[in-house]
Every structure is written in C-alpha cells, then in structure tokens.
Amino acid sequence: MEGFKALGLSYRNAPIELREQVALSEVDAGQFLLKLKEVCNVQEAMLVSTCNRTELYYSSEADIKKEIFALISSFKSIPSNKLAEVFEEYSTEEASKHLFRVALGLESQVLGDIQISNQVKRAYQQSADLNLAGPHLHRLMHTIFYANKRVVQETRLQDGTASVASVAVDLIGGFIQNIESPRIALIGLGEIGQNVLENLNTDEASITLVNRTKSKASKLAEGKDIAVRSFEDLDEVIAENDVVISAVSTSNPIISASNLDIDSIHKLMIDLSVPRSMDNDLDSVPGVSLYNVDQLTERTQKARKIREKSIPDAERIVEDELNGFFKWKSEMEVSPTIQRLKSALDQIRIEELARHKKLSDKEMELLEVVTKSMIQKVIKLPVLQLKAACKRGEAESLVGVLNDLFNLESAEVEKK
C-alpha cells in the first residue's frame, strides 16, 4: 500500500498546450513504461494519457519523482523543473482513490465520461502485456471495473450525452447508419477536435484528419487506420466525405456553400468552432444538414443536470468498493506472517511425530490427521485477531508480537 503512487497533470491544472506536449501515444507509452522499469526497477506501472490528462500510476518504496520527470523530459523535450511545477502527486490510499475517480468519470471534464473508462482499460491492458501489472494493480483494476458496473446499474452518472463532442458523435452515428462505407473528415485537432476523434469508432467509417500542422494529425493517426490530408486539400476533402466536422480556430468561416458540388449532395456538416468556421449559407443547400455548437450544447444540458444529481451515489459506491479493496490489501500484508506461523507450527508437529518411530503406519496416519486438526484450531484465533487488527489499523504491532513469540523471521531465514 505504502509504495503505490501516482503523478499526473490534467485539464484542471495544465493548459491544453502543455497537455498536448506531454501526451504520449500508445506506442510511446509502451516504450516509456519499459524504460521506467529498466531505469527505476519499477515492477508495477500504468500510464493513462489522453488529451485531457497524462497520469502515471506506479509502485515504488523509493522516491523516484526526479527520475520520472527526467524520463518524461527525455521523451518530450520538456525541462524537468517545468514538469515538477505542474504534476500533482498522489500517494498510498490517495493514489488508489484518484484512479477510481478518474476511471469512473468523476474527474472528467465531461462528468461521467464513458470514454475515460475505456482509456483506462486500454492502459491497464498495456501494463499487463508488458508484465507491469502485479497483484496490487490487478486487484485494484478489477475492483474498479466492478465499481463501474455498479455505477451503471445503480446511478444515472453515465445517462444521456453530456458533451458537445459526444453529441456530435451521436449525430454522426445516426447519419451514417444507412450509408455504405461512410467517410468522415475531421478538420482541426485542438482540444475539442481530439475529443471527437477519441469518441469516433474507426470500425464504422473511414476517417480523414486535416490540420494546419500536418505533423500533429500524423501523430494522432499513428498506429491507427486513419488517413491524413493537408489543409491545402480542404475542398477535395469536403467533396469526398459524407460527414465533415470542423473544430478550427478561425476568425471567419472557411467552409461555405461554394466549397460544395451541389449536385446530389447528402452531407452532415458539424461546426464545433467558436467563432464559427462554417457559413450559414450551407443550411440552405439541399441535402446538407448543418449543426453548430449552440444547437449541440442545448442537447447536453439535461444530461449534465441528471449526472450531477448522481454524484453522491457514485461517490458512495467508490467509498464502498475502496474499503473492500483496502481490507483485502491489509490482509495481504499480514498474509506472509500467517504463512510463516503455519509453517512454524507445522514444523514443530513434524518434528514431534518423527520422534515416535515405533508407531505403525496406521497409527501414524491417525496422528497425522489429529495433529493437523489441532494445528488448524490453534492457529484459528491468531488469524482472526490479525484480520481484526487489520481493520483497526493495528496489524503491525500484532505481527511484531507473533514474530517475537515464535521467532518467525529467524525461522524463515533458516528455512532458506
């Protein structure tokens, strides 16, 4: 418990520019974790990196913050002292609780965001694939998955659509369902553009990214079945795609009816820019459905209010499941002592039986059964007392008493 920690930044304490600098692709995240294991001898680690947050969860008894910042700096060319200024630190129980809240969407910019739960699952899978998920992380994550299931069943934290990006994706899903091999273009990859991209399902449609800085689009498309086009190809991209989403920062509209070939048009145009990047004249083009930010925002208000009312119920579930996890963790910490005590008593039993060599096989079998039963009864009370001490937070003193009474640590050394 004492060695589990977290370091991270999010939309709460870091601007989008810095979050973009720090964010790691899935490939980079894997390389970072392997390097962390090599440099810091970390046995458990998980990295959650999205456009809204980059957080590292890890187990280490030593203080390795400087080494972690130096490693991030080597990957992203950001001075370590700048990272130290913005990264928040969570330790022991606080780190476990924070991961719970992140995974359940209680810390999301969009309250109850389902997407973050999937992102945390992928991060956990990557850790498991890299052999960086040990007993603590495995148990914690499966407890979180169960808590998330309870939140879905017992609360309305994830009801409705509570973000402009997810409303846009819902509109797209309804529009393309009857289109064979639908094509979607996403123009502009700032914060909201990235949110849309994270919510889009690449299995349902082919996706093309367009950004003024093409290298940024290429980076976001890395390792995915996503095309990248230059901003200079904007007219062609608009003509070729069934859905066009624009999240471009601009002072004047850059897309208008003049960009369209108005013969046999059937397009969904979604303008997520403020100020608007799509001209109102698009709304008058037959076959074009145009939506702007204000229209999409209206759809989110009701869902947000419902979700906000569910916060106390969701937090109750978090506390409930966390208490169960901490109870398991405490019992795991005294488990070695219980095993050593069992071994010590069993060794005494075996040595005593060995002194009675004149007994017949049948008598020896009977004594085996009787003495094992006695050991079980003798050890029952200390085990119950240890578990009770765990709940009171007093296990350490009782472990010390048992070690002294039965010389358990010396016995373990001799055994080895």
Q: Note whether residue 312 is domain-resident.
A: no
CATH of the domain at 117: 3.30.460.30
Tokens of 317: 């579930």
On whether both 99 and 134 belong to a single domain, the answer is yes
Asked whether the beta carbons of 279 and 253 are under 8 A apart, the reply is yes
- Where is the domain boundary, 279, 302, 325? 302
Instruction: Dump the DSSP string for 219-266.
Output: HHHTTSSEEEE-GGGHHHHHHH-SEEEE----SS--B-GGGS--TT--
Adjacency order of strands within the sheet including 53-59: 44-49, 53-59, 4-10, 88-91
51 is catalytic: yes
Closest to 338 measured CA to CA, from 391, 398, 393, 392: 398
Q: Note whether residue 323 is domain-resident.
A: no
Q: What is the rounded distance in angstroms from the CA atom of residue 403 to the CA atom of residue 306? A: 54
Share of the chain above pLDDT 70, in %: 89
381 C-beta neighbours (distance < 10 Å), count: 9
Quick check: helix, strand or coil at residue 267? strand
Looking at residue 155, its pLDDT comes to 95
Residue of 23, 51, 68, 110 marked catalytic: 51
Within 8 A by CB and 6+ apart from 272, the residues are 164, 165, 168, 188, 192, 193, 196, 245, 246, 247, 293, 296
**Which pLDDT tens digits describe the chain residue by residue (416 residues)?**
458 999 999 989 888 888 888 988 888 999 999 999 999 989 899 999 987 899 999 999 899 999 999 999 999 999 999 999 999 999 888 999 999 999 999 998 888 888 888 899 999 999 999 999 998 999 999 999 999 999 999 999 988 777 888 889 989 999 999 898 999 999 999 888 988 998 887 788 999 999 999 999 998 998 888 999 999 999 999 989 999 999 988 878 889 888 887 665 789 999 998 788 999 889 888 889 999 888 888 878 888 889 999 999 999 999 999 998 988 877 766 666 777 777 777 888 888 888 887 888 888 888 888 888 888 887 787 777 766 766 666 666 666 666 666 666 654 544 44
Q: Note whether residue 12 is domain-resident.
A: yes
Q: What is the rounded distance in angstroms from the CA atom of residue 288 to the CA atom of residue 232? A: 23
On whether both 38 and 116 belong to a single domain, the answer is yes
Q: Note whether residue 367 is domain-resident.
A: yes
What is the residue range of 146's domain?
4-159
Looking at residue 201, its pLDDT comes to 76
